[in-house]
Amino acid sequence: GKQEGAKLAFGGELLKRDTPGFYLQPALFTEATNQMRISREEIFGPVASVIRVKDYDEALTVANDTPFGLSSGIATTSLKRATHFKRNAEAGMVMVNLPTAGVDFHVPFGGRKGSSHGSREQGRYAAEFYTTVKTAYTSA
């Protein structure tokens, strides 16, 4: 992120712990753009980048301008914007005023685009997900 021009506003240091492993202090990058790798790739770690936009329409465009689509969210007091975002965000799971991680176990889970693989787990998709189809013939 820093190499491409984003500003490391907080964290990002490797931490030493009693248990051997790779520990990273949560990192927050600001002044990121949607063209930077830190904004375009899925980072499975405690890293967040902030992209400044001028309005809701630009925010939705930037949010959808990605090859991934596991989860997206919006924090708003506008019911109109919340409804529009839920309908137009290109993600498998869309949150309004909630974290984008941690979902109920009984609802379909999965992404769109390059996020996730196969059909959704749970919900009406559970039967397909956990079923192996077999065709068998018997002659009497």
Same domain, 75 and 124: yes
In the predicted model, what is the mean pLDDT of residues 106-134? Answer: 63
- Which residue segment(s) compose the domain that 124 sits in? 54-140
Distance CA 129, CA 56 (A): 36
Same domain, 47 and 104: no
Distance CA 113, CA 91 (A): 8
Same domain, 1 and 43: yes
Same domain, 126 and 76: yes
Per-residue model confidence as pLDDT tens digits over 93-111: 888 998 877 666 555 666 6
**pLDDT averaged over every residue in the chain:** 84
> Considering 52, 70, 91, which residue would you say is the last residue of a domain?
52
CB 110, CB 128: distance < 8 Å: no
Distance CA 48, CA 73 (A): 14
Same domain, 45 and 106: no
Which residue is associated with the tokens 């990192």? 27
Q: Check residue 44 and give its pLDDT.
A: 83
**What share of the chain has pLDDT > 90, as a percent?**
54
Same domain, 106 and 116: yes
- Number of domains observed in the structure of the chain: 2
Same domain, 105 and 36: no
79-88 vs 56-64: helix axis angle to the nearest 10?
20
Same domain, 84 and 131: yes
Strands, sheet with 47-51, edge to edge from the N-terminal-most edge strand: 7-10, 27-32, 47-51
Q: Give backbone dihedrals phi and psi of 8, rounded to 5 degrees, phi first.
A: -75, 105
